Amino acid sequence: LLDVEIETGRLHQIRAHMAELGCPVVGESVYRVDLPPITSRPPKGRAMQPLALHALTLTFAHPTTGAPVTVTCPLPEHFKQVAADATIALPRELR
């Protein structure tokens, strides 16, 4: 489980960089490397669709005023289930 801050917003930036580091996003199929078992074989046979990639918080400049706008979205339930199946303890704010 990672907290990643992107700088450029380039398409697939997190996916490509994590795969290059040998730590692909769970469910990744485009930027494949020699995948560790959790990514090549989902826990307890559960397929991870879509990717295990979620923006908890997004901040951007309002198109008219330029003021910062922050939007948050809780972690989807299927992410929580995959974490539980993989015995990954989620931080309190994500439970």
50 preceded by cis ω (within 30°)? yes
* Per-residue pLDDT tens over the stretch 37-84: 454 445 555 555 677 888 889 999 999 999 999 999 999 888 888 888
Cβ-contact 61, 69 below 8 angstroms: yes
* Per-residue pLDDT tens over the stretch 19-28: 888 888 877 7
Domain ranges of the chain: 13-94
